[in-house]
A and B are shown apart, each in its own frame.
Chain A
Amino acid sequence: MSTREKVLWIVAGVAIVVYALFPVGWIVSLSLKSSDDIANGQFLPTALSWENYEQILVGDAAELFLPALRNSFGIVLIATFIACVLSMFAAYAIARLDFSGKKLILSTALAVAIFPVISIVTPLFNLWRQIGLYDTWPGLIIPYLSLTLPLSIWTMSAFFREIPWEMEQAAQVDGATTWQAFRKVIVPLATPGVFTTAIIAFFIAWNDFAYGISLTSTSASRPVPAALGLFSGASQFESPNGPIAAAAVIVTIPVVVLVLIFQRRIVAGLTNGAVKG
């Protein structure tokens, strides 16, 4: 590669980084503007101010934001966990066993994944009100499974297919018991796939807005994205932009941290390009 080409690719790379980070940088910058500064028409604040964060974490808006944060973490983690356990069994069966119905399960998962969420919300809204699940944690955990399960089944079975299952027999031939062979050979190979799937499922559920806004009405179960979406109407500040920006930054931090730590695995999971063991 010539120097000129190298420089070109580096410039293109920098452009990508700017493209990806610019809106994030902007919302961080906005969250650090004081209320006098919000309308300064500039990208950066004239002076750094923590007042938006104070409002969100200890001030007037805390009672809106903090319960939502707790709901989001609780509901999303439980939904992710259930989806991972169920799809682990399913993916194991799909990758390992010969049974009719594999295709049916995989295509059902695909069909569920392309379902418009709003089409499910409409009847659930009514049903949940009748059976008392409206505005409760289970009332969101159950529909979140429609988001996390299909994806988990597809991603995990792609990972599990890549596992060289013969290795476990090889270990047995070498004198390991069935249990030892499974634990020492298969479990370490399967863990990254399960883990990656869990992270992606977490992202998807964390991102949900339609269920959150339709199936909840109070801070008993309203997750962060829905709380943010309704924030402008619910608050009495002159301009809710600053506090919303601060809240947006806080909910973005966990996902950005996850991305930075596990980027390799996330890419592998998203593209089903599990590396062969």
Chain B
Amino acid sequence: MTTTSVKPGTGDTAASPAGRDPSDRARSEQRLGWMLAGPAFAVMLLVTAYPIVQAVWYSLFDYRLTDPDNISFVGLNNYAVILTDEIWWISFGVTVFITVVTVAVELVLGFALALVMMNALKAIRPVLRAAILIPYAVITVVSAFAWQYAFSLDSGFVNSWFDWVPGVAADTDWFGGTFSSLFVICLAEIWKTTPFISLLLLAGLAQVPDVLQEAARVDGATWWQRMWKVTIPNMKAAIMVALLFRTLDAFRVFDTVFVMTNGANDTETVSFLAYRQTIARVEIGLGSAVSVLLFLSVVVICVGFIKGFKVDLSQARGEK
């Protein structure tokens, strides 16, 4: 409704690009564009750029909230403390482990789900679509509780259901060790976020031209050959986008760890470490430094993907 007040001007500019005074028009369009988009832009900067600049600043100080009179500038010392501490490397390793495992499984599983949805009979497609959106919509904390309770000793059914599996007994304490805890954390994450990946892949699948599939079929290509030579190369962009977003997301894992183990048994992730330093231990200086390191890791992942993506593209072109 409110957009309408600006409408007349824009309508004119769009209607006659070959107007009498293009430079004037261009200038007013420029101004209007920023007037409309500016507030959103400003808010985004305010809620993120400002805090991150402040985090960088605080990370250079020795600053405890419980002892606010003793702030002292320590330069990069906080970073040195963190990077030489085993705790940082353990949490970094745990984060990388969770990211690699969940994204790898999700990619395969998500692709399988997308294929089924693509090929399923028309009648059951809406049912599948609705079902697959439910894990996406369930809040992460709830999903974490559901999986935790399923595996926990005092309320779970997993031990009694799977006691025929070697290593699983009625009293198996899944949250007693690092790897069994991480296993359950990964399961919960995979369940919750596979739908997202598979919806993106489904959109990618839908974009593969039928003509190409037909042509390959006529040429006698098997199902696997068509998959590897036609389908997957044609949906590379969708795969890369899904991978990038999921990797970034997985690297920031926090809720599930908080609920399931609270960081016990070396299951602390980088996000959790930043939270614990700042909020629980009120070590603002050290916590800020961890936050900045986490932010830098995410930037590195992002740049790596974009660079890697370009390499992939040129390789794909070279093959053709």
Residues of A within 8 A of B (CB): 6, 9-10, 12-13, 16-17, 19-21, 23-24, 26-27, 30, 38-39, 41-43, 85-90, 92-94, 96-102, 104-105, 108-109, 111-112, 114-127, 129, 142-143, 145-146, 149-150, 153, 165, 168-169, 172, 178-179, 181-183, 187, 203, 206-207, 209-210, 213-214, 224-225, 228-229, 239, 241, 244-245, 248, 251-252, 255-256, 258-260, 263-264, 266-267, 270-273
Contacts and interface: CB of A to CB of B under 8 A. Distances in A.
Contacts of B73: none
A187 B1 CA distance: 8
A202 B284 CA distance: 31
B202 A271 contact: yes
B278 A125 contact: yes
Interface string B150-163: 10101111011100
8 contacts: A39-B154, A93-B36, A101-B34, A114-B298, A119-B52, A122-B287, A145-B47, A209-B141
Interface string B133-153: 111111111110111011010
A271 B203 contact: yes
B142 A251 contact: yes
B33 A150 contact: no
Contacts of A87: 40
The prevalent SS among residues of B at the interface is helix
Given A23-B143, A87-B40, A209-B141, A214 B275 contact: yes
A100 B252 CA distance: 33
B155 A39 contact: yes
Contact of B127 (A13, A27, A30, A165): A13
B23 interface: no
Contacts of A115: 48, 52, 295, 298
Interface residues of B, number: 102
Contacts of B147: 23
Contacts of A39: 154-155
A14 to B, nearest CB: 9
Nearest to A33: B155
Contacts of A121: 274-275, 278-279, 291
Interface string B36-62: 110111011101100110110010000
A99 B32 contact: yes
Contacts of A181: 11
